[in-house]
Amino acid sequence: MLKRLVWSTFFMPAAATLADWKAASVPDFLAERSRQELARLGNPGWWGPPDLEALAELMQLAAAEGWRILPAGRGTRLDWGGLGHPVDAVISTAACDRLIEHAAADLTVTVEAGMTLGQLQTILAETGQWLPFDPIAGESSSLGALVSTGMSGSLRHRYGSLRDFLIGITFLRHDGQWAKGGGRVVKNVAGYDMMKLLHGAWGSLGLIGKLTFRTYPLPNAWGTIACQGDREAILQLRSQLVRSDLTPVAFDLLSPAAAAELELRSQWTVLLRFGSVAASVQEQQQVVELQATRLGLAAMTVAEPVWGQLNQSFEPRSRSATLIKFALLPSQLPCLLAELEAIAPTALGRVHAASGAGWLVWPEAEPTVETLLRLRRHCEVAEGFLSVPAASVSLKQQLDIWGYPGQGLAVMRAIKRQFDPQSRLAPGRFLAGLEE
């Protein structure tokens, strides 16, 4: 077993014992906070099979030996999610990054899970296509990791989340056997929806090997406009735009601190992005500018790189940084913005204006537990949630980062037992109480 594995500085030899490979060096590309997380988990060995066949062999060995596994892509965010329990091995798909099939005429693409989002976008752009997905985690993350963590970005306003155009998935079960759901055609409706089940499961149900996505034609032209002013006027503009016939691909509300990160004035901001034919983009921007001016807001066009800068500003910059994901009824946004202004003025805030989903980040210092609980109560009263995907170890020890799971915990436990009966996959990484 494992005879096919080809090793480099971070691939351990097949003859190594558990004790041998625990002492091995980790990949050079790992960030310091990920290295610290590995140390906290007991310095597990880092395994990086070069292809999917070797990946399956390794998972079969792990099952036979009873190893506790932490699935990983490039390991850029190993410190995200729950505190987790010590593991015996990190199994990475970073080397499994090949293009399997791009059916450009059918608007579908199948890739190995280790391919990064940036690599896929480059491939698709050659035929005038793209994956309309811009997560805060960035283009350097592997697609498997992005699916597993359920990341999203501003483009969900027009296109939905990643799971909405994930149409096929192949993954390794706890015993190292392949399973799959969906297929390579857009209208595949047969079978159980494994794509939605594994999306956002944080590696707790299996190790993703292959993914099939629906792709979209690239717009001919882009345009972004920012409108700034006081909170009440910004909320009025948001209400008008939501009810209008405009078709932005992204529509965000930014806190003053978040706007300042983009070298805009430190004011409440509506940031809209349009993607269409050039005439439509220009016309829609003019409509927004007119409506903003009538409300006493300043309106200005902004260069397209602003969206990448926005994502980068929401990336936790240190181990003590805190990232919050939340959602609530859009009708309750006025109350939320007032609450943020009162108790978290230094936090960077970003809300997808039509859905009520959003992000908060304290880039350097962490908020108090009391502040987080107050914001969580506010979201839950508004029929939403608040989770804390990235935070310091000390903060995670004081707070259930996932919050109230609703009425589905019993069902989720049953699914976990079926997919991972020994609770060896990503132990402690996902919901508290998931592993009995």
Compute the half-sphere exposure of residue 83: CA atoms within 13 Å on the CB side of its CA.
13
Which of these, 278, 254, 279, lies nearest to 268 by C-alpha position? 254
H or E segment to which residue 170 belongs: strand 166-172
* Backbone CA torsion sign across 45, 48, 53, 55: positive
SS3 120: helix
Written in H, E and C, the secondary structure of 24-83 is: CCCCCCCCHHHHHHHHHCCCCEEECCCCHHHHHHHHHHHHHHCCCEEEECCCCCCCCCCC
Question: Which amino acid, one-letter code, is at 358?
Answer: G
Where does CATH 3.30.43 sit in the chain? 18-92
pLDDT per residue as tens digits for the range 68-96: 999 999 998 899 999 999 999 999 999 99
For every residue of 357-372, DSSP letters joined together read EEEEEESSSPPPHHHH
Low-confidence ranges of the chain (pLDDT < 50): 1-16, 18-24, 187-191
User: What pLDDT is stored for residue 189 in this prediction?
Assistant: 41
pLDDT per residue as tens digits for the range 379-430: 999 999 999 999 999 999 999 999 877 778 888 999 999 999 999 999 999 9
Q: Which CATH number does 99-217 carry?
A: 3.30.465.10
Total-model pTM: 0.91
Using a 10 angstrom Cβ sphere, with 0-12 exposed, 13-18 middle and 19 or more buried, the burial of residue 259 is buried
Where does CATH 3.30.70.3450 sit in the chain? 221-305
**Is the distance from CB of 209 to CB of 51 less than 8 angstroms?**
no
Annotation: CATH topology of 221-305:
Alpha-Beta Plaits (3.30.70)
In whole angstroms, what is the distance from residue 271 CA to residue 273 CA?
Answer: 7
- Residue 175 DSSP symbol: T
For every residue of 300-368, DSSP letters joined together read EEE-TTHHHHHHHHTS--STT-EEEEEE--GGGHHHHHHHHHHH-TTSEEEEETTT-EEEEEESSSPPP
* Backbone CA torsion sign across 386, 345, 391, 116: positive
User: What pLDDT is stored for residue 135 in this prediction?
Assistant: 94
Q: Given CATH 3.30.43, say whether it is the number of domain 18-92.
A: yes
Residue 51's alpha-carbon distances to 5, 176, 178, 389, in angstroms, are: 8, 14, 14, 30
In whole angstroms, what is the distance from residue 256 CA to residue 266 CA?
Answer: 4
User: What pLDDT is stored for residue 34 in this prediction?
Assistant: 87
**Is the distance from CB of 313 to CB of 263 less than 8 angstroms?**
no
Tell me which architecture the domain covering 314-406 has in CATH: 2-Layer Sandwich (3.30)
User: What pLDDT is stored for residue 32 in this prediction?
Assistant: 82
- Which residues are within 8 A (CB) of 398 and not within 5 positions of it... i.e. 6 or more apart? 369
Which of these, 112, 84, 67, lies nearest to 202 by C-alpha position? 84
Where does CATH 3.30.465.10 sit in the chain? 99-217
User: What pLDDT is stored for residue 320 in this prediction?
Assistant: 82
- Residue 219 DSSP symbol: P
